[in-house]
Structure 1
Amino acid sequence: MDRRSFLQTIGSVGLMGALPESSFAAHTGSGHIVHEIAQPAQETDAKPSHTIRFAVCGMSHDHIYGMIGAIQRGGGVMVAAYGAEPDKIAVFRKRFPDVKVASSEEEILNDPSIQLVMSSKIASERAALGIKVMKHGKDYLSDKPGITTLEQLAEVRKTIAETKRIYGIMYSELLEVKAAVKAGELVQAGAIGRVIQTINIAPHQIMQKSGDNGGGAPRPDWFWNPDQYGGILCDIGSHQVDQFLYYTGSTKAEIVESQIANIAHPEHPRFQDFGDMVLRGNKGFGYVRLDWFTPDALGTWGDGRLFILGTQGYIEVRKYTDVAVKPQGNNLFIVDGKQSRYIDCNNIDLPFGPQFVADIVNRTHTAQDQEQALLAAELVITAQKNAKLVHMNA
């Protein structure tokens, strides 16, 4: 008799309670469990050490507001803004009524007092703007993806070499997520040994009651066009590949395989709502899964997960929620040879803003490694270009 039939038989005759409790129960484990709340470093309590003047030039995606917040925390002063979409400018004016609205990109580019220009304009247009910014003697911070073609990437690298300017890309799922920052600290401290692999699960939601697309407003036309948004692997995958490089410490990497599909959006035939890729670096392996299928009941735009496997333990980061447990994000779980720990990371400080402002002043690359940022772009562009387009039967 198999196990299921046996359990049904003894249950029907009332013998289940007579069996030893451990006979069929799952093993619950006996490791030491610790819950803690991570605290900010004392030195981050001080005011920013530096200040710069910056401007916004293009605001097609609402990620620009997070970018502005990061640089302001670092001591940046926003002095001007330009945007081509009237609806985006209207929202911006409400948020920042005291900031001058420029009449053109050139007005900002030709202002010698502006040290940094940031942009979240249509993805395919970001690199061309960044090249102009650097040639005007300013540093640049782009929303992700910061580059959408290999031709753009070559020109960006050439311009960096010629101008010695900074071309930053806001990979916010690492740089602006507190639990991801804490995971980096633990990895660098050797908490799980040598990192072997990262796995990133990155679901997204197309229509939100609130969030990036303006409180449930329809997505713009460029959102559906891969020539403009870069494709799913290049676009939202850029976050994840940046994390793969950062946590594994890989300085060289290749795309082993990649695939894309449009499963449920036939009204937008070129849109990609699913994609994944496998990566191999010189210091670790990676897997990334991306999709646009987050259900409404989650309560946030996506249940982003990061898994870091090490030789002496592993880390899981539940970035934006803890499903069916609590809506709070920034949840980190770490298991090593001695204990299992849950760390609430919501109280720690985000270092990117102050570090990036300091980099502009000091001509350093502390906030973001320039080569790593561009390598992440190169990898996702390559993955997108070579991805197998899969057609699923209904």
Structure 2
Amino acid sequence: MTAPLRMGVIGIDHRHIYTMAGHMQAAGAELAGWWTDGTPGTLDGFVRRFPEAPRVAAMDALLDDPGIDLILTAAVPCDRPAIALRAMAAGKDVMSDKPGCLTLDQLAALRAEVARTGRIWSVDFSERFEVPSVTAAAELVAEGAIGRVIQTIGLGPHRLNRPSRPDWFFDPARNGGILTDIGSHQIDQFLVFGGLSTAEITLASTANRANPGDPAFRDFGQVALKAPGIDGYVRLDWFTPDGLPTWGDGRLFLLGTEGTIELRKYVDAGRSDRSDTLILTNGTRCETIDARDAGLPYFARLIDDIRNRTETAMPQEHPFNVMEMAIRAQAMADAAD
């Protein structure tokens, strides 16, 4: 029997670490230990979910452990690239929460370290990798159910939850800004469903509509994308109302030459609290599909990639290209602000 892949966690500052580690465990990985700086608000929730994993005194205890294959990080976003670089230099592969980096200089350093070490630098774009309906949509598109995709519209609303947000959340120098952060999800999906490696950014803008006490914070953002034969539009915001039974009514619309797909990822607002509703229309079908059981293949594939040095979870160039586009979109919006 193959021994389970062992992973360590460095930085638990964002709640995404709960699902990153949890899905890896469900795929067969073992959480060997974790370290984080101080006492972030996520601490109690992490310990409750992973009581069997020891907290080590310093991150070097994980980096120096030859039995650990993978480092997960959901540290403060500005700290994630340095953690990834140290991990790769220590011979570990890396799964980072998004955004995986905030600047082009950080991105260049990550590219260089991957080239130097041959390690895997993966980013968990959770609005794709942790959403079964996106798995189902990808399968339908691959089967030709809607023909060639010619437009995507990605909506990424989020609940602000101001009382629970740490100071770094409101500082774009530490979190990257709305386009680098949550915009990376939507850029990822545009590239994947368009079968693209990169695209042109034709519009990028942000605004602070309702948080004057945090003048550097942007609570609204939009991006338009273009490549040969396909266009994309992204809308992002921090305005999810309290009446919605989840953190955001995230949706993805795919327009194809022979049909359409709509994903109501987290809730079917006004109709059902159920997640992962997929609506398909084409020349012969017009139906609503419960896609909750479509699976989350990214995590098991990443384990296989670590063992076999393959790229089945996603091509190594993909997270580099997504983050470069997100950073450039943010810079374009900042320059016009």
Give the whole-Å Cα distance in 2 for the aligned partners of 1:132 and 1:282. 38
Aligned AA (2:293): N
The aligned residue for residue 58 of structure 2 is 104
The aligned residue for residue 15 of structure 2 is 62
The aligned residue for residue 303 of structure 2 is 357
Aligned AA (2:110): V
**Structure 1: gaps of 5 or more residues:** 1-47, 208-215
The aligned residue for residue 38 of structure 2 is 85
Give the whole-Å Cα distance in 2 for the aligned partners of 1:326 and 1:178. 17
- The partner residue of 1:347 within 293, 296, 313 is 293
Structure 1 residue 234: deviation in Å? 0.4
Contact 1:50 1:75 in 2 (8 A): no
Structure 1 residue 355: deviation in Å? 0.8
Structure 1 residue 189: deviation in Å? 1.0
Give CA deviations for 1:317-352 in whole Å, capped at 9, x if unaligned. 000111111110100001101120211011222111
Secondary structure of the structure 2 residue equivalent to 1:297: coil
Question: Are 1:249 and 2:195 counterparts?
Answer: yes
- The partner residue of 2:79 within 113, 116, 125 is 125
The aligned residue for residue 116 of structure 1 is 70
TM-score (norm 1): 0.83
Contact 2:104 2:327 in 1 (8 A): yes
Give the whole-Å Cα distance in 1 for the aligned partners of 2:164 and 2:51. 25
Question: Are 1:142 and 2:88 counterparts?
Answer: no
Structure 1 residue 86: deviation in Å? 1.7
Give CA deviations for 1:153-177 in whole Å, capped at 9, x if unaligned. 0111111101010001000110110
Give the whole-Å Cα distance in 2 for the aligned partners of 1:379 and 1:111. 35
Give CA deviations for 1:15-45 in whole Å, capped at 9, x if unaligned. xxxxxxxxxxxxxxxxxxxxxxxxxxxxxxx
The aligned residue for residue 223 of structure 1 is 169
* Larger of the two Rg values belongs to structure: 1
Give the whole-Å Cα distance in 1 for the aligned partners of 2:286 and 2:329. 36
Secondary structure of the structure 2 residue equivalent to 1:233: helix
Contact 2:135 2:295 in 1 (8 A): no
Structure 1 residue 89: deviation in Å? 3.5
Structure 1 residue 370: deviation in Å? 1.4
Give CA deviations for 1:246-283 in whole Å, capped at 9, x if unaligned. 00101231211100000000011100000000011245
Give the whole-Å Cα distance in 1 for the aligned partners of 2:179 and 2:252. 17
The aligned residue for residue 195 of structure 1 is 149
- The partner residue of 1:372 within 308, 318, 335 is 318
Question: Are 1:272 and 2:272 counterparts?
Answer: no
Give the whole-Å Cα distance in 2 for the aligned partners of 1:62 and 1:352. 19
Secondary structure of the structure 2 residue equivalent to 1:141: strand
Secondary structure of the structure 2 residue equivalent to 1:222: helix
Give the whole-Å Cα distance in 2 for the aligned partners of 1:282 and 1:167. 28
Contact 1:275 1:290 in 2 (8 A): yes
Give the whole-Å Cα distance in 1 for the aligned partners of 2:163 and 2:317. 37
The aligned residue for residue 296 of structure 1 is 242
Contact 1:56 1:117 in 2 (8 A): yes
Equivalent runs, 1:9-24 vs 2, <5 Å: none
- The partner residue of 2:333 within 359, 365, 387 is 387
Contact 1:315 1:332 in 2 (8 A): yes
Give the whole-Å Cα distance in 1 for the aligned partners of 2:285 and 2:18. 39
Give the whole-Å Cα distance in 1 for the aligned partners of 2:125 and 2:17. 12
Task: Compare relative contact order (CA 8 Å, sep 6+) and give the higher one, 1 or 2.
Answer: 1
Structure 1 residue 51: deviation in Å? 2.4
Give the whole-Å Cα distance in 1 for the aligned partners of 2:196 and 2:215. 36
Structure 1 residue 298: deviation in Å? 1.2
Question: What value does the CA root-mean-square deviation take over the aligned residues?
Answer: 1.6
Aligned AA (2:147): G
Give the whole-Å Cα distance in 2 for the aligned partners of 1:274 and 1:294. 12
- The partner residue of 1:320 within 262, 266, 277 is 266
Distance 1:61 1:163, change over 3 A: same
Contact 1:261 1:390 in 2 (8 A): no
Contact 2:141 2:147 in 1 (8 A): yes
Distance 1:49 1:249, change over 3 A: farther
Distance 1:50 1:274, change over 3 A: farther
Secondary structure of the structure 2 residue equivalent to 1:298: coil
Contact 1:60 1:85 in 2 (8 A): no
TM-score (norm 2): 0.96
Give the whole-Å Cα distance in 1 for the aligned partners of 2:250 and 2:50. 30
Equivalent runs, 1:134-213 vs 2, <5 Å: 134-207=88-161
Contact 1:140 1:167 in 2 (8 A): yes
Structure 1 residue 390: deviation in Å? 7.3
Give the whole-Å Cα distance in 2 for the aligned partners of 1:342 and 1:66. 27
Secondary structure of the structure 1 residue equivalent to 2:213: coil
Secondary structure of the structure 1 residue equivalent to 2:236: strand
Contact 1:359 1:365 in 2 (8 A): yes
Give CA deviations for 1:84-131 in whole Å, capped at 9, x if unaligned. 132444443333222111111111111111100001000111111111
Aligned residues: 336
Secondary structure of the structure 1 residue equivalent to 2:292: coil
Structure 1 residue 184: deviation in Å? 0.6
Identity %: 43
